[in-house]
Amino acid sequence: MKHSEKLKHLPPYLFAQLDQLIHEKSAQGQDLIVLSKSDPDRPAHPNVVVVLREQAVEPLNHHYPDFDGLKLLREQTASWYQTQHGVTLDPEHEILPLMGSKEGIVHFCQAWLDPGDIALVPDPAFPSYRTGVILAGGKPHLMPLREPDYLPDFREIPTDVARQAKLMFLNYPNNPTAVTVSPGFWQEALEFARDFDIILVNDHAYAMTKFDPDVAPSVLSVPGSRERSLEFFTFSKAYHMAGWRLAVAVGNAEIVRGLKVIETHVNAGIFNPIQYAGAEALRLSTKPHFFMAENQAYKQRLMHLVEFFNSWGWKLKVPKATVYLWVPAPADMDGDEFTRFLLDEGNVVVAPGSGFGEEGKNHVRFCVTYADETIDQALKAMDTAFKKTGVKAPYSPHHAAR
């Protein structure tokens, strides 16, 4: 048996590896404190679950769903974009419901890349951008995101590469670094994309997971962006629906159409009750303060982690959005070694930065979608481990020497 060449080029999937590690250690009786995966600790809103229940007993919903996605969900997405971002969308042509943004990202690459085509992919980044490009036979050109602001430097991209590039993935607020951008950055990205005729994609997974109202602008709010932009928005994070598998892709009608062609061949639609429930989630969240309690909890947890590291000599700031803290490894370790140290000495599981790309190799990512008690446990365990081993803070706040 010989598997495809593509498979060889795919790095192991970080979170599958971490899950396996967690299962193995737990089977050996080790009590782990897991802070690695961003899967909200709260359940979906009760009214959203009620809608799912009501719709699940409706026999009409037991048939194959519509390829276009539920009209109500598309309309609700349009009105939500209007309220949240001041963006007007056509529910017929500019919105496509998906079974999660991870699969949408991979399918999007199938629609827009031919073998050998170049796609611009940030490093570090959520792994699925690179996966999607590789599975489509394309070539990822990595854009390093560096401290302190973790933005791509478009001038660093060689002109011949930019000319050949068909699309560019960006993701702000950012996983794993937690940085945010202003509309001015989207303007700059759009100008670059326009100069080289590139499709601009923002994976807006953390659009509503923010601690300041203005830190998560939609790329579609920039005038002229509709001519070449697409945005993914998942229900996994803000609505605590990670297991439900629901997201939307919105933006340029032709780009959405291309993605829809692939979806019609690969999927057979999304279970309607999930889409009705998603529409209800969007409707509920137009009320002010809908996200306030959970965002306050995330911020509080991030603050505790920041205080802990800074008390040991780090110089971290509390992120303005997301559920992540991107922490440079101590002076004499890289990110993989720090991950191993936290596991061996404190039973704490974090995501090694190397899992997000080469540029992440000197960091680890903490995730705060875990109960306050779990965060407290982790802080105590790390404090004991740090005291026992005399861990030293990184040489410089930006790890520039490494």
Ligand X SMILES: Cc1ncc(COP(=O)(O)O)c(C=O)c1O
Site residues (vs ligand X, CB under 6 A): 38, 100-102, 126, 171, 175, 203, 205, 234, 236, 242, 247
* Cα radius of gyration rounded to whole Å, the chain: 21
At its nearest, how many Å lie between ligand X and the CB of residue 234? 3
Please name every residue paired with 396 in a beta bridge, in sequence order, or none if there are none.
none
Amino acid present at 68:
D
| DSSP calls for 107-132 | HHHHHH--TT-EEEEEES--THHHHH
ω before 173 within 30° of 0 (cis)?
yes
Closest C-alpha among 167, 281, 184 to residue 223 = 184
| Residues 250/94, Cβ–Cβ less than 8 Å | yes
DSSP tag of 223: T
At its nearest, how many Å lie between ligand X and the CB of residue 287? 23
Cβ–Cβ contacts within 10 Å for residue 52, how many?
A: 20
Nearer to ligand X, 74 or 102 (CB): 102
At its nearest, how many Å lie between ligand X and the CB of residue 228? 20
Nearer to ligand X, 162 or 350 (CB): 350
At its nearest, how many Å lie between ligand X and the CB of residue 270? 12
| Residues 202/85, Cβ–Cβ less than 8 Å | no
At its nearest, how many Å lie between ligand X and the CB of residue 205? 4
At its nearest, how many Å lie between ligand X and the CB of residue 322? 8
Nearer to ligand X, 308 or 369 (CB): 369
At its nearest, how many Å lie between ligand X and the CB of residue 358? 18
Nearer to ligand X, 38 or 285 (CB): 38
Nearer to ligand X, 126 or 211 (CB): 126
- Stated as kind and residue range, the H or E segment containing 168 is strand 165-170
Nearer to ligand X, 166 or 204 (CB): 204
At its nearest, how many Å lie between ligand X and the CB of residue 131? 12
Pairing of strands 95-98, 247-251: antiparallel
At its nearest, how many Å lie between ligand X and the CB of residue 244? 9
Please name every residue paired with 251 in a beta bridge, in sequence order, or none if there are none.
230
The upper half-sphere exposure of residue 242, i.e. CA atoms within 13 Å in the direction of its Cβ, equals 12
Nearer to ligand X, 96 or 333 (CB): 96
Nearer to ligand X, 113 or 125 (CB): 125
For tokens 């303007």, name the residue. 187
* Separation in Å, CA 300 to CA 45, 289, 306, 349: 21, 17, 10, 20
Pairing of strands 165-170, 199-203: parallel
At its nearest, how many Å lie between ligand X and the CB of residue 1? 30
Q: Is 159 exposed, middle or buried (0-12, 13-18, 19+ CB in 10 A)?
A: exposed
Residue 364 CA to residue 350 CA, distance in Å, equals 7
Nearer to ligand X, 99 or 379 (CB): 99
Which are the contacts of 393, defined by CB distance < 8 A and separation ≥ 6?
309, 312, 313, 314, 330, 331
Residue 296 CA to residue 210 CA, distance in Å, equals 9
Residue 7, phi then psi, degrees to nearest 5: -60, -35
Give me the helices (H) in 204-287, please.
253-266, 272-284
Nearer to ligand X, 119 or 379 (CB): 119
